[in-house]
Amino acid sequence: MNRLDRIKGCLLGGAVGDALGAPVEFLDWNAIRASFGPQGIVDFAPAYGIKGAITDDTQMMLFTAEGLLRAYVRGSSRGICHVPGVIHHALLRWLMTQDYQPSTHVTLDGWLVKERDLWSRRAPGNTCVSALKASQRFGFFAQNNSKGCGAIMRVAPCAFFGNAFKYAAESARLTHGHPTGYMAAGLFADILQRMTDRQDSLEQALTKSLAEHGGKPGMEETRAILERVLFYFYEGYRPTPERIDELGGGWVAEQALAIGIWCALTATCLEQGMITAVNHSGDSDSTGAIAGQLLGARYGSAAIPARWYQHLEMRQVIEKIARDIERVPRDYLGYAGEFDRAIEAQYPGS
Ligand SMILES: [Mg+2]
């Protein structure tokens, strides 16, 4: 597997997990079982009138990736760039696709925002919407105390750029002011980066990330729950709907990360891990997205079952973003002073 396989696996795997969980996001386990049988949901079912529909998790992931690419282009061409500020601008473009008006002027250039299928509300999180609506300038941190999972579910693309932990945590903080909300996001991107760039197993990546970042202020809740998950893993406890509910529903960042990691750590294959990650009473699309990103980074995009891959909404857009993440930093630097106008038009540096 090369780096592109892992990047594609991560982003497409996350989107597939999001789409698998979307129909059951607001159902508890009893209701899921009543609707889909004792195995729970194992295939795409209609959500928002579409089979294979992605939700706000994947939409915001795409705009985060766009922001990182635009920041890269700007940094390379002008040598000065505040990365979280550029990601913020991209997230405000997402806000406009949701038919909300930002408090500051937002430029609707670049290719991503012109994808009309993104202009659709998929149960966007209140915290993200209210924080983005309120923000007066790019890069300004959210003035709230939320640690909802609405930040961690979008930061995976930070794993493929330098400073993964920092950019993930700082871009999470644009909407989520509680330290657990943004520090868990930083840790998640750091874990994904170790898996992608160093081919670490998830267990190795998690252990190393905790050793490096686990002692930082604001990491207490995340470290505690992830140490519990590692204990379960070493003891051979496998996640079930009931055990996942005991860990928490995944509505807050550290729980969503813990559920995603537990399901990915114990998975026998990508498909099984993702099914486990969405069948519980909690926030199924976000835990599905997080588990899918981890499993996709580990197994690559070829491991995604065809029956999911073929019906995934926005598949081409997600693949293009993955390819651009892999190639733009290579191609754009390669011109050494001569800038690639096609790349600049797709990712204007603002
Ligand atoms: Mg969602």
Distance 163 CA to ligand 1 centre (A): 26
Domains defined along the chain, listed by start: 3-37+48-136+145-336 (1.10.4080.10)
Distance 102 CA to ligand 1 centre (A): 21
Distance 128 CA to ligand 1 centre (A): 11
pLDDT single digits (tens) 178-203: 999 999 999 999 999 999 999 999 99
Distance 278 CA to ligand 1 centre (A): 12
Specify the range with the lowest mean pLDDT, choosing from 155-159, 257-261, 332-336: 332-336
pLDDT of residue 340: 80
pLDDT of residue 336 exceeding 60: no
pLDDT of residue 334 exceeding 50: no
Q: Over the Cα atoms of the chain, what is R_g?
A: 19
Neighbours of ion ligand 1 (CB under 5 A): 55-57, 285
Contact 43, 310 (CB under 8 A): no
User: What does the mean pLDDT of the chain come to?
Assistant: 96
Instruction: Round to whole Å and give the CA distance between 143 and 56.
Output: 21
Instruction: Round to whole Å and give the CA distance between 127 and 220.
Output: 22
pLDDT single digits (tens) 273-312: 999 999 999 999 999 999 999 999 999 999 999 999 999 9
Specify burial of residue 163 (Cβ count, 10 A radius: 0-12, 13-18, 19+): middle
pLDDT of residue 50 exceeding 80: yes
pLDDT of residue 21 exceeding 70: yes
pLDDT of residue 350: 66
